[in-house]
Chains A and B, each alone.
Chain A
């Protein structure tokens, strides 16, 4: 992994009062995923908010958009992987997940979105032990 942090001084927001939003036992706790570089959650860093997750239970589709902390964030793909793994835990396996960066939030928006949604690349990435470890740390860290 890189020695220096890519975004050493992120803007941190207070955790919002969490309104209970668990309908049909789906969990919406993706916002608690820890940012790969900092001991803060993606929500605290304004990477994710309530509006950025939409679920269509009838079709079994989920769309998540997130805002990387800076325009050239190379951690975007890691965040995308974390979101995907977390959603796999929360939703039945047949749900289809599309993950995108919010429009205008990343310099290589199209390229990042393509990589975030290539099923084969995702499968191969999650078989990479180093990447898998990083994802697990973001998901299961107890620092929150």
Chain B
């Protein structure tokens, strides 16, 4: 396979630049139900301009257009957005301390619910795989778990305390109801529900990163995760997935590998593709790709740099996200106010 061949040359081709936001774009999310033969790919993006934009690629022209601007709801920066696994709902987290839930009603996006409770800026929101739970996190140092009830009602199930600083991101495990959070306090926490229905922290990774951990991403199998940090490294962790599946609470995530020396400014985003390519977006305007190196088998896998795309944007790259539908297609967003769609291709010689 070309990923294993270290002689393969890759290039990141720019497909299109999506402009429209009037301030930095903090995050974006591909609608998981789209990008198939029937449904054209759809992306939601959120910005410092307090709006969320919905973009769709035209079946006819193959060009991306802005289909909707969700405004007049959040009163401050919208920091993160994420679609429910079915693609029917969109959750948006804002510095205005609320999380809004949107539904596409005949082409029109309506805010069907507003989740309040955090004391200050909400930084991230995540749906679990079965769409029964939602998690949010905030500068107020807490992580909230919400139960999704019928009729777009959301009930707070738990307020998780433990982080000692601003919580930057929450992410559910891809298959199990285990929640992960990462923070300005340099740690990653793992949360699970016990038999009595109480959520508690089952692991805190403290001796990992030496500065703010900005993001977490899981591999396709769910047995590895990669985190990125202000300490300029990416760290890969692994856990015994079978142990986790059998409900063993004592299963711990262990450090597998550290990718250092590749970034010289804060890494804001990291995303692991289905195929195993790790993409990172950083404050040096570049996007980097890493794959497992087939060489070392001694102490476990190591990772090598596949490609560095310098000046991917004119300013900091805040988010990188692989397309759920098309192979090796990716989107990124930046402080420069744009979103870019890319294709990672092997360069023809």
Q: Once the chains bind, are A119 and B95 in contact (CB under 8 Å)?
A: no
The A-B contact count (CB < 8 A) is: 37
> What string of 1s and 0s marks CB contacts (under 8 Å) between B184-200 and chain A?
10000000000000000
Q: Summarize B's interface: helix, strand, loop or mixed.
A: loop
Q: In this complex, what residue of B is CB-closest to A95?
A: B315
| B265: interface (CB < 8 Å) | yes
Q: Once the chains bind, are A118 and B121 in contact (CB under 8 Å)?
A: no
| B118: interface (CB < 8 Å) | no
| B48: interface (CB < 8 Å) | yes
Q: In the complex, which residues of chain B have a beta carbon less than 8 angstroms from the beta carbon of A124?
A: 77, 95, 120-121, 139
| A15: interface (CB < 8 Å) | no
| B283: interface (CB < 8 Å) | yes
- Residues of B in contact, count (CB < 8 Å): 24
Contacts of B52-79 to chain A: CB distance below 8 A: 76-77, 79
Q: Once the chains bind, are A119 and B283 in contact (CB under 8 Å)?
A: yes
The contact of A93 among B76, B139, B315, by CB within 8 Å, is: B315
> What string of 1s and 0s marks CB contacts (under 8 Å) between A98-124 and chain B?
000000000000000010001111011
Q: In the complex, which residues of chain A have a beta carbon less than 8 angstroms from the beta carbon of B184?
A: 114, 118, 121
Q: Once the chains bind, are A127 and B95 in contact (CB under 8 Å)?
A: yes
| A94: interface (CB < 8 Å) | yes
Q: In the complex, which residues of chain A have a beta carbon less than 8 angstroms from the beta carbon of B316?
A: 96, 119
- Residues of A in contact, count (CB < 8 Å): 11
Report Cα–Cα, A119/B76, bound state, in Å: 16
Q: In the complex, which residues of chain A have a beta carbon less than 8 angstroms from the beta carbon of B121?
A: 124
Report Cα–Cα, A114/B212, bound state, in Å: 9
| B211: interface (CB < 8 Å) | yes
Report B126 CB to chain A, min CB distance, Å: 17
Contacts of B263-298 to chain A: CB distance below 8 A: 265-266, 283, 285
Report Cα–Cα, A94/B166, bound state, in Å: 26
Tell me whether A121 and B166 are in contact in the complex, defined as CB-CB below 8 angstroms, given that A114-B211, A114-B212, A127-B95 are known contacts: yes
Q: In this complex, what residue of A is CB-closest to B76?
A: A127
Report Cα–Cα, A91/B266, bound state, in Å: 21
Q: Once the chains bind, are B166 and A96 in contact (CB under 8 Å)?
A: no
> What string of 1s and 0s marks CB contacts (under 8 Å) between B225-253 and chain A?
00000100000000000000000000000
Q: In this complex, what residue of A is CB-closest to B121?
A: A124
Q: In the complex, which residues of chain A have a beta carbon less than 8 angstroms from the beta carbon of B139?
A: 121, 124
| B153: interface (CB < 8 Å) | no
Q: In the complex, which residues of chain B have a beta carbon less than 8 angstroms from the beta carbon of A114?
A: 184, 211-212, 230
Which A residues form the contact surface with B (CB < 8 A)?
A: 93-94, 96, 114, 118-121, 123-124, 127
- For this complex, 28 residue pairs linking A to B, each with C-beta atoms less than 8 Å apart, are A93-B315, A93-B336, A94-B285, A94-B314, A94-B315, A96-B265, A96-B283, A96-B316, A114-B184, A114-B211, A114-B212, A118-B184, A118-B230, A119-B266, A119-B283, A119-B316, A120-B79, A120-B168, A121-B139, A121-B166, A121-B184, A123-B24, A123-B48, A123-B95, A124-B77, A124-B120, A124-B139, A127-B76
- Chain A to chain B: the 6 pairs with minimum beta-carbon distance, closest first: A124-B121, A124-B95, A127-B76, A94-B315, A94-B314, A127-B95
